[in-house]
């Protein structure tokens, strides 16, 4: 396997982007990434696109070809492949691009992640997201993702004495970070009281425990490390890439408070990178709901099982804490255009490792981890990146 580096990143603003089309968004992110990387179109060997449900959200399938076309690559007939794994679609697309460069099949690839979720009504968006749950055993009986994660939260609270206040503290932290990210959907801080008193969505989760419905796109250019310096001043190495799967339905898991796909994807990425959780300087984790961040920091080994809520209370995961988590604002405040999320996590990690994260910069950041989950944990992708 060859070593692989991130040489270019691009991101649109996340939010309710009524005036922008699906095509506009992905073209903007792609153009930014290409300009940032220093490559030209003819240098790019292949494209991978993460999108969860463009067919339901904007009525458009066949988005591999559409994104190549919107990016101006149709005339050079670039191979472009869509990758789908629910909310982990972006992370999976990154991994496919990474593997194609590591294997020697390609030298330079571009990966896009895109979702435009606000062009449909809220109910339809919720039903669309629920297609990533088990249709026979979950969605058919009315379970939605807020409902499924509420079950995880209830069990975690019962088993480990995690409180609603712990959940709210995750939201307060991520809104604080999001307020410092110009691309974030919610650039406003919230108080603990606001988080705790917000309207209930699925007990015990309130509005501030949920990621929003978002539009947005992200793009990343990857290159073999030996050629990276030819294009980019500050390439960032991908030193570990792990993926794992689990049962689609939550009830079939051995323990619903542990996402085994996270545990296994994490172990695989740590092993390849030859790193341990204590070597990670910061992490972007999949906080689709506040409880998901608490489970993630446990399952990735940053804290012991059951201590996630207490770790957040002790401010271990704040910007100046021992292991800053979701410096971008996370899915909670930056927004969660599902297919774009995994790619946007790599964008944030790269900014941190290049020292470009401005008001949310982690001091002396050398090694960062990204964690992208599909559904309630049936798919997980973990990447570990290192500054050169």
Closer residue to ligand COA in complex, CB, 129/273 = 129
CB of 126 to ligand COA, least distance (A): 5
Question: Within 71-90, which residues bind ligand COA (CB under 6 A)?
Answer: 87
Task: Return the structure tokens found at 39.
Answer: 């490559």
At CB < 8 A and 24+ separation, what contacts does 311-314 make?
312/166, 312/169, 312/170, 312/173, 313/165, 313/166, 313/169
CB of 191 to ligand COA, least distance (A): 13
Residue 210 interacts with ligand COA (CB under 6 A): yes or no: yes
Contact 126, 144 (CB under 8 A): yes
Q: 213, 239, 323, 357: which one contacts ligand COA (CB under 6 A)?
A: 213
Residues 6 or more apart from 70 whose CB is under 8 A from it? Answer: 23, 24, 26, 27, 30
Q: 99, 207, 229, 247: which one contacts ligand COA (CB under 6 A)?
A: 207
Residue 145 interacts with ligand COA (CB under 6 A): yes or no: yes
Give φ, ψ of 36 to 5 degrees.
Answer: -65, -35
Closer residue to ligand COA in complex, CB, 172/385 = 172
Q: Which residues pair with 83 in a beta bridge?
A: 50
Piece of 45-53, 202-210, 233-241, 352-360 that binds ligand COA (CB under 6 A): 202-210
Contact 2, 225 (CB under 8 A): yes
Task: Return the structure tokens found at 49.
Answer: 């696109």
Q: 212, 309, 342, 377: which one contacts ligand COA (CB under 6 A)?
A: 212
CB of 129 to ligand COA, least distance (A): 5
Residue 237 interacts with ligand COA (CB under 6 A): yes or no: no
Question: Within 274-313, which residues bind ligand COA (CB under 6 A)?
Answer: 288
Piece of 62-70, 204-212, 299-307, 314-322 that binds ligand COA (CB under 6 A): 204-212
Closer residue to ligand COA in complex, CB, 86/157 = 86
| Extended beta strands in the chain, E state | 4-11, 46-50, 80-83, 108-116, 200-202, 205-206, 215-224, 236-245, 282-284, 367-374, 379-387
Residue 152 interacts with ligand COA (CB under 6 A): yes or no: no
Active site residues: 87, 336
The crossing angle, in degrees rounded to 10, of helices 145-160 and 290-299 is 60
Residue 336 interacts with ligand COA (CB under 6 A): yes or no: yes
Give φ, ψ of 200 to 5 degrees.
Answer: -75, 135
Piece of 208-216, 218-226, 245-253, 321-329 that binds ligand COA (CB under 6 A): 208-216
CB of 376 to ligand COA, least distance (A): 7
Piece of 64-72, 100-108, 203-211, 306-314 that binds ligand COA (CB under 6 A): 203-211
Closer residue to ligand COA in complex, CB, 157/201 = 201
DSSP codes of every residue in 2-65: --EEEEEEEEPPPB--TT--HHHHHHHHHHHHHHHHT--GGG--EEEEE-S-HHHHHS---HHH
CA distance 106 to 46: 7
Residue 211 interacts with ligand COA (CB under 6 A): yes or no: yes
CA distance 145 to 172: 21
Task: Kindly determine how many residues on this chain lie close enough to bind ligand COA according to the rule CB under 6 A.
Answer: 16
Other Cβ atoms within 10 Å of 361 Cβ, number: 18
Closer residue to ligand COA in complex, CB, 213/236 = 213
User: Using CB under 6 A as the criterion, which residues of the chain lie in contact with ligand COA when the complex forms?
Assistant: 87, 122, 126, 129, 145-146, 186, 201, 207-208, 210-213, 288, 336
């Amino acid at each position: 396997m060859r070593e692989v580096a991130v040489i270019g990143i691009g991101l649109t603003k996340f939010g309710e982007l009524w005036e922008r089309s699906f095509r506009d968004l992905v073209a903007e992110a792609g153009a930014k990434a290409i300009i940032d990387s220093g490559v030209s179109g003819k240098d790019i060997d292949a494209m991978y696109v993460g999108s969860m449900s463009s067919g339901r959200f904007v009525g458009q399938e066949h988005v591999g070809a559409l994104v190549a076309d919107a990016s101006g690559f149709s005339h050079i007939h670039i191979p472009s492949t869509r990758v789908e794994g629910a909310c982990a679609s972006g992370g999976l697309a990154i991994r496919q691009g990474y593997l194609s460069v590591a294997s020697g099949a390609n030298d330079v690839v571009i990966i896009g992640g895109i979702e435009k979720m606000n062009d449909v009504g809220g109910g339809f968006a919720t039903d669309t997201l629920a297609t990533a749950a088990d249709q026979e055993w979950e969605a058919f009986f009315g379970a939605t993702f807020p409902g499924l994660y509420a079950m995880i939260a209830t069990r975690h609270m019962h088993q480990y004495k995690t409180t609603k206040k712990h959940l709210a503290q995750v939201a307060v932290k991520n809104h604080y970070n999001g307020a410092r990210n110009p691309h974030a959907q919610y650039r406003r801080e919230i108080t603990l009281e606001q988080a705790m008193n917000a309207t209930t969505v699925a007990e015990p989760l309130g509005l501030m425990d949920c990621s929003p419905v978002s539009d947005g796109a992200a793009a990343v250019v990857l290159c073999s490390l030996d050629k990276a310096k030819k294009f980019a001043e500050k390439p960032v190495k991908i030193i570990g890439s792990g993926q794992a799967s689990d049962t689609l339905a939550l009830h079939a898991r051995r323990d619903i408070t542990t996402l085994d796909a996270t545990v296994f994807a994490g172990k695989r990425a740590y092993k390849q990178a030859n790193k341990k959780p204590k070597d990670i300087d910061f992490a972007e984790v999949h906080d689709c709901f506040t409880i998901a961040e608490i489970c993630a920091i446990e399952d990735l080994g940053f804290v012991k099982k059951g201590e996630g809520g207490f770790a957040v209370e002790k401010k271990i995961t704040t910007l100046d804490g021992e292991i800053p988590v979701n410096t971008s604002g996370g899915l909670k405040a930056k927004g969660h255009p599902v297919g774009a999320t995994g790619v946007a996590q790599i964008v944030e990690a790269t900014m941190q490792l290049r020292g470009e994260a401005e008001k949310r910069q982690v001091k002396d950041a050398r090694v960062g981890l990204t964690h992208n989950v599909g559904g309630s944990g049936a798919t997980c992708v973990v990447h570990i990146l290192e500054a050169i």
